Structure 1
Amino acid sequence: MQDVTNLWFMKVIAQYGSPDYFFTQYFRVNETSRLNRTILSSITENDTGRPVFAQMIGESIPDLVRTAKELCTYNIAGVDLNMGCPAPRIYRKNVGGGLLREPEKVDKILAELRQAVQDKPLTVKMRVGFENTDTFYEILDIINRHNIDLLSLHGRTVKDMYHGVVKYDLIADAVKRVDCPVLANGNIHSATTALEVLENTGAAGVMVGRWAIGNPWIFNQIRQALRSEPITPVPLVEVRNYIERLWQTPSKDNFPVQSRLGYLKMFLNYIALLVDAEGHFLRLMRKTSTELELFNLCDSVLLSDSTKTLALAPYLGL
């Protein structure tokens, strides 16, 4: 997740139970691009013990090939091409989810990348379409043609963004159609949801994005559910400790307090949905304007009752 899954956040997540794999933020690739050193550090300085895929976003074939070859000189699990980012500023440049409008371009890109990436897995992250699903099956066939090693599939279109129904039936179709393993993505907000999606789609696994921000314990909870074990409750005092870790970003000394507050609130938007089923914490959190106000609110909500635990499914009323 751009602006989220940096080295620091990977290390924070690892304290609660890492995913099987991490994916970096995307390296922007164009004619003048060079590897972003900050993103690269999530590969070269990663001590979480988990493999890391290097994610690229771009549409210039020579530069994607150049970047992929350079990334392969590092200790990566594989090279991942982003064909799913739904941000308008991204798809308007015909990258990310914008590529789904041009199957012929996708065919050319994957052909060249497959030639360039021979000793590492080549993976693709995509959605079921741009505005509709007209190109979906054609692109799945292109994935097969170029022997892609792993497909991460979000069951919404680019224009859906993060709203609307996730088309898990299309993920199930992809599982049957492509030769590589498929990770199901889209609204995997709990261990129960993960198991339901795995059962209904036949996917090899799930990819968890935004909901890991609100519940970094989710990966361990999914493992517990897969073993048919009870899910261990997370006391809200542990959530308060997690928020403190998020606040103590390594760049805090060079990060203005108001900017840090805004950054923390981005995380709290997801945490709050699992803390308070009525949405009061979320509303009040958004109104705070100082560090003291915010942490006083967190203390009053998260430390007032030691018996309260993090919800196993989010409140989605806002």
Structure 2
Amino acid sequence: MSQVSLPKSLHPDLPLTALAPMQDVTNLWFMKVIAHYGSPDYFFTEYFRVNDTSRLNRNILAAITENDTGRPVFAQMIGESIPDLVRTAKELCNYNIAGVDLNMGCPAPRIYRKNVGGGLLREPEKVDRILGELRSAVNDRPFTVKMRVGFENTDNFYSILDTINRHSIDLLSLHGRTVKDMYHGAVKYDLIAEAVRRVDCPVLANGNIHSATKALEVLSQTGAAGVMVGRWAIANPWIFNQIRQALRGEPIARVPLVEVRNYIDRLWQTPNSATMPVRSRVGYLKMFLNYIALLVDAEGDFLRLMRHTSTEVELLNLCDRFLLAEGTKTLALAPYSGL
């Protein structure tokens, strides 16, 4: 089975950029918001859960069927039942997807305990069977994998990379931490560089790419075909444009905090916000502000006070206080250390 060509990137002369799939974040609305500030080359959906009774989740499907960003969208699946993964992959291929992506990296304990997501990295033989069957099922469009460098160590890393080659995977997104590392500790970019040398497909480097400057460092250190950005695109939706500016050697555009305040409003106006209970809406916005705050205020006051707010009015007034007070202040180009 030979590889399939990937969708065209926005700028064929530059390395690829992708927005990482994040559960409860990368829905249709967030993709539209990101596109407003500067799309990545590729989007990936939240994962479709796959088991013997699963059906395609309508909300996740909307990120494919109602997507007007103009960018390719890969449909991600999570599961371990081979017949059901094959069935779901075939169903997804009836839609306008850029390709099918298999999640082998999710570090949430409730996920890996079911031997799905990052839990699969403990079973190289199972990975071999899953990739073989899915490659046969997805033969007319890209079949891609997102994974980490291991479960609690990197013992299976090279054998899984060889499996990826054997089944002609079209793109590998590699987070340079183990599943047990979650989002802590140093990212092993040296192992991403090893993967780049070892596999035949393009590799997207993933893990703590917090700024355009960091993206350039990681690209030069790993030789990866591109970068995949997750949490730091929540903090800074301008990051994909900034990465392109940095790659071209242009100065990176600074973002005034008043623009950040507009971004928060845009997030707030999610289509179902009117029907969400107030507590859920406040919680939803705080999820984003947890990241945004790390680029707004070096002292950490905004983060601390934001977490203590309990009503919409309180929360939005606090945003006004920190983001509209000084007209000249801009979003930091990298996270403040120590926060």
Q: TM-score, normalised by structure 1?
A: 0.99
Distance in 2 separating the partners of 1:133 and 1:316: 28
| Larger RCO (alpha carbons 8 Å, 6+ apart) | 2
- The question of 1:118 aligning with 2:116 is answered no
**Structure 2 partner of 1:87:** 108
Match of 1:304 among 317, 325, 329: 325
1:269 is aligned to 2:290: yes
How many residues were matched structurally? 318
Query: Relative to structure 2, which stretch is displaced further, 248-257 or 146-155?
Result: 248-257
Matched, 1:157 2:178: yes
Q: CA deviation at 1:236?
A: 0.2
The code of the aligned residue for 1:78 comes to G
Q: Aligned pair 1:279/2:300, yes or no?
A: yes
Task: Identify the residue that residue 41 of structure 1 maps to in structure 2.
Answer: 62
2:217 paired with 1:196: yes
Which residue of structure 1 aligns with residue 128 of structure 2?
107
d(CA) in 2 for partners of 1:51, 1:247: 25
Q: Quick one: distance in 2 between partners of 1:174 and 1:116? A: 25
Distance in 1 (CA, whole Å) between partners of 2:200 and 2:337 is 36
1:21 matched to 2:57? The reply is: no
Q: Cα offset for 1:189?
A: 0.5
Give the Cα separation in 2 of the matches to 1:221 and 1:81: 29
**Cα deviation, residue 293, structure 1:** 1.1
Structure 2, unaligned stretches of length 5 or more?
A: 1-21
Match of 2:238 in 1: 217
Partner of 1:250: 271
Rounded Cα–Cα distance in structure 1 between residues aligned with 2:180 and 2:299:
29
Alignment partner of 1:22: what SS? strand
Give, in angstroms, the shift of residue 60 of structure 1: 0.2
Runs of 4+ aligned structure 1 residues displaced above 2 Å come to none
Aligned match for 1:237, one of 243, 258, 263: 258
Query: 1:317, CA displacement in angstroms?
Result: 1.8
What RMSD over aligned residues (CA atoms) do the two structures have, in Å?
A: 0.6
Shift of 1:289: 1.0
For residue 135 of structure 1, what is the amino acid of its counterpart? N
Shift, 1:249, TM fit: 1.2
- Secondary structure of 2:47's counterpart equals strand
What do the CA deviations read for 1:53-108 (whole angstroms, capped 9, x no partner)? 00000000000000001101111100000000000000000000000000000000
Q: State whether structure 2 residue 199 is matched by structure 1 residue 181.
A: no
Q: Give the share of equivalent positions with the same residue, in percent.
A: 86
Aligned AA for 1:66? R
**Displacement, 1:316?**
3.9
Instruction: Tell me the CA shift for residue 305 of structure 1.
Output: 0.8
In structure 2, what is the Cα distance between the partners aligned to 1:18 and 1:258? 30
Alpha-carbon deviation of 1:43?
Answer: 0.2
Residue 316 to residue 3, structure 1, CA distance change in 2 (3 Å): farther
Q: For residue 30 of structure 2, what is the aligned residue in structure 1?
A: 9
Q: Which residue of 2 aligns with 1:70?
A: 91
* 1:280-312 Cα distance to aligned partner (Å, 9 max, x none): 110111111111111111111100111100000
Query: Is residue 2:324 matched to residue 1:293?
Result: no
- Structure 1 unaligned residues grouped into runs of 5+: none
Tell me the amino acid that sits aligned with residue 187 of structure 2: V
CA distance in structure 2 between the aligned counterparts of 1:249 and 1:75, rounded to whole angstroms: 24
**CA shift at 1:250, angstroms?**
0.7
Q: 1 CA distance for matches of 2:297 and 2:44?
A: 30
* Structure 2 residue 49 is matched with structure 1 residue 53: no
- State the Cα deviation string for residues 251-303 of structure 1 (Å, max 9, x = none): 01210111100110000000000001111110111111111111111111100
Output the CA distance in 2 between the equivalents of 1:202 and 1:69: 33
Amino acid at match of 1:292: V
SS in 2 for 1:249: coil
The 2-side partners of 1:170 and 1:275 are apart by 32
Shift of 1:141: 0.3
**Amino acid in the other structure paired with 1:155:** G
